[in-house]
Chain A
Amino acid sequence: MSTNNIYRPLKKIDFSSYLYILPAFIFYILFVLFPLGDTLITSFTEWNGISEKKWVGLENYSNNLSNKKIISSIKHSFILIIFYSFLPIIIGLLIAGIMIRVKIQGMATYRAILFLPQILSMIVVGISWRWIYAPKGPLNSGLDFIGLENVSRAWLGSFDFALPFVGLIGTWVMFGFTMILFIAGVQKIPSELYDAAKVDGAGAIAEFFNVTLPNLRGEIIVALIFTVTLALRNFDLIYITTGGGPGTSTMIPSMFIYKKAFQMNQVGSASSLGIMLTLLIFTLVSMILILLREKE
Chain B
Amino acid sequence: MKKILLLISSVFVLSFASNAETLRILAEAGDEATITEAAAQFEAANPGVTIEANFLGWDDFMATIKLKMADNNPPDLAHGNQGFTVDGTLIQSGLVISLEKYADQYGWKKSFANGALSEFMWSDDGSTWGSGSLYGISPVAEDVIVYYNKDKLKSLGLSIPTSFSEFENALKVSKDAGELPIVLGGADGWPIIHVWGLVEGAFVSPKQTRSWIFDAKNVQFDTQNRIKAAGKLADMASAGYFGSDSLGIGYDDANAMFINGEGVFNLTGTWMTADFNSGMGDNVGAFAMPTWNSGVAGGGSFALPWHISSKSSNPDLAAKFLNHLMSIEFVDDLMGVGRVPAQAPTIDPTSNLQAEVIAASNSLVGANAKTFYTDWATPGMYDTVTQELQKVIGGVASAEEFIDAMAAESIN
Contact = CB atoms under 8 A, between A and B. Distances in A.
Contacts of A248: 387
B383 A259 contact: yes
Interface string A96-119: 000000000000000000000000
B188 A243 contact: yes
A154 B63 contact: no
B317 interface: no
B374 to A, nearest CB: 15
A43 interface: no
B390 A49 contact: no
Given A134-B248, A154-B245, A264-B383, A159 B187 contact: no
B247 A263 contact: no
Contact of B186 (A50, A134, A246, A266): A246
How extensive is the interface on chain A, given as a class? 20 to 34
Interface string B63-81: 1001101100000000000
Interface stretch (B108-116, B162-170, B293-301, B391-399): B391-399
B271 interface: no
Q: Is the interface of B mostly helix, strand, loop or mixed?
A: helix
Given A49-B66, A264-B85, A265-B89, A157 B379 contact: no
A242 B396 contact: no
Nearest to A248: B387
A155 B247 CA distance: 9
A262 interface: yes
Contacts of A187: none
B386 A48 contact: no
B93 interface: yes
B391 A133 contact: no
Interface string B52-72: 000000000011001101100
Given A154-B249, A247-B396, A259-B383, A50 B89 contact: yes
Interface string B286-327: 000000000000000000000000000000000000000000
A217 interface: no
A155 B244 CA distance: 11
A244 B390 CA distance: 11
Interface string A223-263: 00000000000000000001111111000000000010011
A247 B249 contact: no
B248 A135 contact: yes
A51 B69 CA distance: 12
A245 B379 contact: no
Contacts of B195: none
A158 interface: yes
Contacts of A53: none
Interface of A: 48-51, 133-135, 153-159, 242-248, 259, 262-266
Given A263-B63, A266-B379, 14 more contacts: A49-B66, A49-B70, A50-B67, A51-B92, A153-B245, A157-B186, A243-B189, A245-B247, A245-B386, A247-B396, A263-B379, A264-B380, A265-B85, A265-B379
19 contacts: A48-B89, A50-B69, A134-B253, A153-B244, A153-B245, A153-B248, A154-B244, A154-B246, A157-B186, A157-B394, A159-B391, A243-B187, A245-B386, A245-B387, A246-B186, A247-B387, A264-B383, A265-B379, A266-B379
Interface of B: 62-63, 66-67, 69-70, 85, 89, 92-93, 95, 186-189, 244-249, 253, 379-380, 382-383, 386-388, 390-391, 393-394, 396-397
